[in-house]
Amino acid sequence: MIGSLLAVIAFFIYFEPFRIEPYDPNVEVNGKAIPTVQGSYCWSSLFSAQCADMIYVDALHMTEKSKPVIVSPSDKIHLSFDRKPDSLEVVR
C-alpha cells in the first residue's frame, strides 16, 4: 500500500502531468546565465494541452524588461533544458 502511494507520488513529481507550459531553457555564455523570455508555444502533457501566442510588437518589445547581455561573436552560447523537448525552434 505504501509502495503504491510512493509510486503515484513519484509519478506526479517526475512527469508533472498537469503542467500547462514548457520548461524554461538554461542559457549560458562564459559561465554566466542569460535570462530568457517566453515566446509562443504549444505544449501537451498527460492530462492537458494548449497553445499560447505571446503578442509582441517586435523583439525589442518582447525583451523590454530584460537587461542586455553582451556576447562576442566568437563566444559559444550553451542551451540546455531540465527535460529534453520533442522539438525546438530558435529564432534570431
User: What pTM does this model have?
Assistant: 0.61
How many angstroms separate the CA atoms of 36 and 12, rounded? 27
Whether pLDDT at 56 is above 80: no
Mean pLDDT of 39-52: 82
Residue 27 has pLDDT above 90, yes or no: yes
Q: Note the pLDDT tens digit of each residue in 29-43.
A: 999 998 888 888 888
Judged by DSSP in three states, 27 sits in strand
Q: What is residue 10's predicted lDDT score, i.e. its pLDDT?
A: 65
What the block records as the C-alpha cell of 75 is 563566444
Q: Decide: 52 and 21 in contact? Cβ < 8 Å.
A: yes
